[in-house]
Amino acid sequence: MNKKFNKQFFWLFAIIGFFLCVFLLTNEFFLNQIASERFNSEMKMCINNSNECDLDVLVSGDLTSLNANQLKLIELDTIIKNYKEYVIKVIQIFFAFIFIGLIPYFIMILRVFVLKKFSKT
C-alpha cells in the first residue's frame, strides 16, 4: 500500500467518524432536552392526578400495576440519567473510526519491521 492511499483511508474514516459523532451528539443533546421537558410535564400530571410519583418507589414496585404516566416517568428518568453514558459511547465510536483509519499505517509499520528483521538475517 502506498502512503497516498493510507492518508486517504485515514481521512475518509476520520471525516465519517467526525460527522457521525456530530450527528449522534446533536441527537443525544436534543433527546436529553426533550426528555427533561417531557419528564417535568409528566411529573406535574402525576402530581395533579394524585398518583404515586416517587421514582424510587415506582422502580422498586411491581411494574405491571403502574399506569402509563408512571411508566413514562421511569422511562424518561432512565434516558436523563444515562445521558453521560450515551455521550461517552459516541466518543468511543469516534475513536473507533480513527483507529480503523490508522490500520493501514499499522500494517505499513509492521511490514517495515518484518522487512528489517529478514534483511538482517
Which is more confident, 22 or 47? Answer: 22
Q: What is the DSSP letter of 35?
A: H
Q: pLDDT tens digits, residue range 51-75? A: 777 888 888 878 788 888 888 888 9
* C-alpha triplet 19, 12, 31: angle, nearest 5°: 15
Percent of the chain residues past pLDDT 70, beyond the cut: 98
Q: Which residue has the cell 443533546?
A: 29
CA distance 9 to 3: 10
Single out the residue of 6, 2, 4, 5 nearest to residue 105, CA to CA. Answer: 6
Supply the pTM of this predicted model. Answer: 0.75
Size of the chain, expressed as the number of residues it contains: 121
pLDDT computed for residue 121 by the predictor: 62
CA distance 76 to 95: 29
